Amino acid sequence: MQNATLWRALLGVEKTVVEDIEFDEEEQLLVAHVRPRARARARARCGRCDRASPAYDRGEGRRRWRALDLGTVQVVLEAAAPRVRCAEHGPTVAAVPWARHGAGHTYVFDEQVAWLATQCSKSAVTELMRIAWRTVGAIIARVWVDVEALHDRFADLRRLGIDEISYKRGHRYLTVVVDHDSGRLVWAAPGRDKATLEAFFDALGEERSAQITHVSADGADWISTVVAERCANAVRCADPFHIVAWATDALDEVRRQAWNEARGAVTQRRAGRASGQAKALKHARYALWKNPENLTGRQQAKLAWVAKTDPRLHRAYLLKEGLRLVFQLPYEEAVEALEVWIGWARRCRIPAFVGLQRRIIKHKESILAAIEHGLSNGRIESVNTKIRLITRIAFGFRSPEALIALAMLNFGGHRPILPGRK
Ligand SMILES: [Zn+2]
């Protein structure tokens, strides 16, 4: 065919013969008839394992693969899809040089979608590429498998953070492992139990597990048990982000109680003042949650109002803030401050904080280790926050693998490359 080299470049294919080009004007669709180069055809390979295998049959005849648009025109490759008899996989569609096995899109199409998925919004990807969001999920999952095979993501790991992240509106969980030193997401898998985390240490291997010096985690027993077994040399640290989250939860419990009491007063007295109190307490939530340095003027006023009308809730607020401050102190001062905080919480007569104080005592050693070894940086927290955002974007994906692939391609340190660029 004329201009075969140009067509190969336009279609983004290699080791491929372009036999014919057809343009369907009505559909505005360009169909490129292709076949693998003669040498590739003579030594056909299994699509799954790439092992050279004898021919089997013609499969289901000719099929199509979507390629990148040319200008505004959609493009498909069309070719025969014969099967080979693989020693391991039996009759399997033969590998083709322009697409991944089982894929309905070419390599360059896949690569561009993966790149876009890490760069722009869901609607930008689906509208620009004219594919469903589910298809995006399938594409990034298969791209990640190939990217992963090219890199050793477990090299030089020393300090790990282990965490769980909920998705599907809190019905499912991922266990994630982050590298404290590079801020990279190292590993993620569905589930939150011992078996899930053991799979990580299996993948890491014994020798590399022994080189881990620090592990931070949220204090969950299943994590500490596995870490103690598989990474006995590592200093175990609490994750300050989670400890502060415990305090925020305790504070919220106190706020809800106050709110319920105020609401109860409404039904008893039908008084406007009590109803206003309940409403104001409900809206005080953000003022109570935020770090004081980030409060708006209105939220500061809200806090002052809480101090005046509900001293108990205000005391709970100060307890939460006190604990948060411990993590910002140098080690020596933090040791002392944590003791003072424990004594204060023990005597505070607010059950949520008395309970929290017991939990803090239980994890005291790992909390202080986190401060001593400087693992209280916000890096892991920020990776976790970003992954949480991704779990929302990935909601329409069919499998957790697609969600994990998107997270890994975004934060694993190996972003997909835009086709044709270096
Ligand atoms: Zn095979």
Which pLDDT band, with edges at 50, 70 and 90, does 16 fall under?
very high
pLDDT value of residue 272: 54
What does the pLDDT look like over 349-361, one tens digit per residue? Answer: 999 999 999 999 9
Average pLDDT over residues 198-219: 92
Cβ-contact 397, 190 below 8 angstroms: no
Output the CA 138–ligand 1 centroid distance in Å.
21
Give the distance (Å) from ligand 1 centre to CA of residue 46.
Answer: 5
CA of 85 to the centre of ligand 1 (A): 8
Residues 6+ apart with CB under 8 A from 347: none
| Residues with a beta carbon under 5 angstroms from ion ligand 1 | 46, 48-49, 86, 88-89
CA of 199 to the centre of ligand 1 (A): 26
The pTM score is: 0.80
- Give residue 274's pLDDT: 52
Report the percent of the chain where pLDDT is more than 70: 93
- Mean pLDDT of all residues in 289-310: 78
What average pLDDT does the structure give for the chain? 88
What is the Å distance from ligand 1's center to 336 Cα? 63
pLDDT tens-digit map of 240-292? 878 888 999 999 999 988 888 887 765 555 555 556 777 777 766 666 666 77
CA of 348 to the centre of ligand 1 (A): 67
Rounded to an integer, what distance in angstroms lies between the CA atom of residue 122 and that of residue 134? Answer: 11
Q: Tell me, in angstroms, the distance from the centre of ligand 1 to residue 54's CA.
A: 11
Q: Kindly report which listed range (23-37, 87-101, 358-372, 387-401) carries the lowest average pLDDT score.
A: 387-401
- 93 CA to centre of ligand 1 in angstroms: 9
Task: Report CA(51)–ligand 1 centroid distance (Å).
Answer: 6
Q: In whole angstroms, give the CA distance from residue 141 to residue 136.
A: 9
Q: Of 195-204, 220-229, 377-386, which range is least confident?
A: 377-386
Residue found by looking up tokens 């295998």 in the block:
53
**Residue 20 CA, ligand 1 centroid: distance in Å:** 30
User: Residue 387: what pLDDT?
Assistant: 85
**pLDDT score for 264:** 74
For residue 420, what pLDDT band results from cuts at 50, 70 and 90? Answer: confident
Report CA-CA distances (Å) from 111 to 343, 353, 393. 57, 51, 19
Asked if pLDDT for residue 21 goes beyond 90, the answer is: yes
Percent of the chain with pLDDT over 90: 57
Which pLDDT value is given to residue 394?
A: 80
Give the distance (Å) from ligand 1 centre to CA of residue 49. 4
pLDDT at 273: 54
The structure tokens listed for 279 are 């409403």
- Lowest-confidence range among 94-103, 138-147, 167-176, 347-356? 167-176
Q: Which of 191, 136, 174 is nearest to 402 (CA)?
A: 136
CB 99, CB 61: distance < 8 Å: no
How many angstroms is it from 225 CA to the middle of ligand 1?
A: 39
For residue 269, the model assigns a pLDDT of: 57
